[in-house]
Structures are given as C-alpha cells and as structure tokens.
Amino acid sequence: MKKRHLLAPGPTPVFPDALLAMARPILYHRGPEYEVLLGRVREGLRYLFQTKNEVLLFTSSGTGGMEGAVINTLSPGDRALVIRSGKFGERWGEICEAYGLQPQYIDVEWGRAVEPDTVAAALAADPAIKAVFATHTESSTGVLHDIEAIARIVGKTPAILVVDAIMSLGVADLPMDAWGVDIVVGGSQKGLMIPPGLAFCAVSEKAWAMVRQSRLPKFYFNFQAERKSLEKNQNTFTPAVSLVMALHESLAAIRTEGLTALFARHDRLARATRAGVRALGLELFADPPTPALTAVAAPQGIEAGAIVKTLRNVHGITISGGQAQLKGKIFRLAHLGYADESDVVLCLAALERTLSDLGYPVKLGEGVRAAQEVLAQAG
C-alpha cells in the first residue's frame, strides 16, 4: 500500500467537509435552498477578497475569469499594459491578442518580480493605457509580485489594475479595497480547497465604469448580467451547483480560521519548506517567493523531470515540474489550501530520499531538520 499525496500547485487536496458536501443530493439552482446558500457564499467571498464589491462567480477554470476581465473592460483599439514574468503573465497577453488588442508588454526575467517603477514609467509614457494586467503569484516561477506598490502607481492614473490572484487567493494577503486593486481574479482549486470549476472576479467601482463602456463581444462571461443575477442570489446560467455547495463549506472554514491565521499558516509552511530545501544545498528559483509554492532549481546534472517522476512513482507524492522554458530546470512544491506542517515534513523527507536515489549527495534528515526548526518557532 502506498498513500498518495497531492502537493502540486493545483488542484490542491479537497477539504473533507467539501468532499462530503459534493456527495450530498444536489440542489436545484432555481430553488429557495440554493438562493440561501448563494447568499452566504457571496458574503464569504467578500470576506475572502477583503472587499465591499460584489464578487462575480463563473463556472469555468480561472482562465475564463481572466478572459472575462479583459472582454468586460476594454473596447477595440484600447491600449493595455501586460506584465509578463511567466506563463500566466503571458496568458493575459494571449487573451488580449485573441481579441485584437495590441498590448504593451513589460517583460520580466522568469523567477523575478516586476520593478514597480517600470510600471510607473510605462504608464507615464503612454497615458492612453486603460488597463494594467498583473499577476499576484506567478505559478510558473513561484514569484510573488508587489501588488500593493503597483496598485499605488496605477491608482494615480485613469487606468484600472487587474490582478490574476488565482494561485494565491486566500494564501497571500491581497486586501483589494485597501490597496485599490480594481479587478481580482480567483479560482476554486487553490487556497479555497475545493475542486477546479469556479472562477471569481471581484470588480471595483472604477472598473464597473469601464465595464459599462466596454465594447468587446461577450456572452457567457458577461459581468453586468452576472452581477444583476447575483443581486437576486441567482446565476445567469446553470452554475456548477456541487462546487458551490463545496465552496460554501470552504468559505465557512476560512472564516473560522480567519484571514490573519490563514496567511500566517501559509507563510510558515513556505518558510519551513524553503529552509528545508536550502539545507539540502538546493537553490530557490523565485525571488521574492510566494507563500503558495516553492520553486526549486534542479541541481546540476539532475533533470527536474526525474525528481518529479521519482517522487510520484516511488514515494506517492505528486508535485509539478517546470513549464515552457523552465521544463526540466525547476520543480515546484506546493503548500497551500488544505495543507499543514505534516505535508511539509513528508514532502521534504521524500525529496531527500529522491535526491539520494538520483545520486545527489544528501544527508538524510537535514531538510526535515531545518524545516522543523522553523516550524518549532512560535507563530
């Protein structure tokens, strides 16, 4: 017998109460029970997004929410600024281009965060820019961007700031209203501890003003229609009811834990993981790193794919390798959502064994020891 552990950056393991909720008889999405449930979910999402705004809900992967954020705010010919520092920053650009927009790009070395000053310079150079598309945690590199600083810059202009927060919603702090972020896109399968299939878009008043003017075509991902429906505790189109039932459970759990404790837990797991990885002599890939996952450079002479495969086939642990230009070069250990100290410990222990199997010189126990020292600290 081999236990299986899912430590990839999404989908993350599903919270047991959410699994059970999905096994209950399904609710009718036009009935009174569902309306009560959706009302509570709307409240819970506002708490999670730290906003007074309505958080729109779509049945789709997170990418659908990203597409919605582009097509509901912009019009043909509009200027946009896209920050690209990995595969998901690139996705903002691909969506814009699919709709005939020609965004300006800020290209950042993969593994690094954008310098907020370069955003200020780009906006100053082109005052016609209507929207800045950024990424909170770039999943492909494990970097956390300084959204607070970027929001301060964009907030002084007529442009809106749109942030892909799919990877670290409920993991890294992103107080939307306090920082002045205009659209935050989230997904269900990361910090929310439920399966993929729901995308979220929280939209500020500044962004709604643009939504009312937007002329790019849209139907399924229509922000105005969905807002109108949600205000009646309805969805425009048949929603993924079982996922909304699961979401209701996970939002309740998040509220019980509290955002402060939630962010502290993730920070602690991330610091412990990084300490363990460094103690094994490995190099961290991301600077600055996200609390959602730890990207590690594969050591000289070992293909990252071999580490991923050995962890899965020999130790029952699913992690992720690198994507696109990082394929074979990095591997990514996730520690978010329904995750605690035991996950960090078992992951590092298996990593030690794996590296040893692959011929990398490792002192067994060193990674776990270093992580333990972080975990033993208060807070």
| Three-state secondary-structure class, residue 320 | strand
Residue type for 213, please? Q
Minimum CB distance to its own copies smaller for 59 or for 273: 59
Sign of the torsion angle spanned by Cα atoms 117, 119, 120, 126: positive
Distance CA 109, CA 7 (A): 26
Kindly state the smallest distance separating residue 88's Cβ from its own copies, in Å: 11
For the chain, the straight-line distance linking the first and the last C-alpha, in angstroms and rounded, comes to 36
The letter for the amino acid at 29 is H
Nearer Cβ to its own copies (10/276): 10
Binding mask 29-48 for its own copies (x = CB under 8 A): xxx-----------------
Is the CB of 57 or the CB of 370 nearer to its own copies?
57
301 binds its own copies (CB under 8 A): no
Best CA proximity match to 161, nearest among 135, 141, 138, 140: 135
Among 43, 77, 94, 324, indicate the residue that binds its own copies (CB under 8 A).
Answer: 94
Q: How many residues bind its own copies (CB under 8 A)?
A: 51
Phi and psi, residue 104, nearest 5°: -85, 145
Q: Does 125 bind its own copies (CB under 8 A)?
A: no
Decide: is 141 part of the binding site for its own copies (CB under 8 A): no
100 contributes a contact to its own copies by CB under 8 A: yes
- The smaller minimum CB distance to its own copies, of residues 51 and 59, is found at 59
Considering only residues 49, 55, 64, 165, which one is a binding residue for its own copies as defined by CB under 8 A?
Answer: 64
Among 136, 218, 274, 335, binds its own copies (CB under 8 A): 218
Closest CB to its own copies among residues 247, 280 = 247
By CB under 8 A, is residue 342 in contact with its own copies?
no
What DSSP designation does 284 have? E
**Footprint of its own copies on residues 319-338 (CB under 8 A)?**
320
Asked if 11 touches its own copies (CB under 8 A), the answer is yes
Cβ atoms 139, 87 nearer than 8 A: yes
Amino acid at 324: A
Distance CA 152, CA 178 (A): 10
Counting every residue written for the chain, the total comes to 379
Interface with its own copies in residues 240-299 (CB under 8 A): 240-243
Strand, helix or coil for residue 129: strand
Report the candidate in 237, 278, 232 with the shortest Cα–Cα distance to residue 36: 232
Q: How far apart are CA 355 and CA 303, in angstroms?
A: 11
Binding region for its own copies (CB under 8 A): 4, 6, 8, 10-11, 13-14, 19-20, 22-26, 28-31, 59-64, 67, 94-95, 98-100, 187, 189, 195-197, 216-221, 237-243, 312, 318, 320
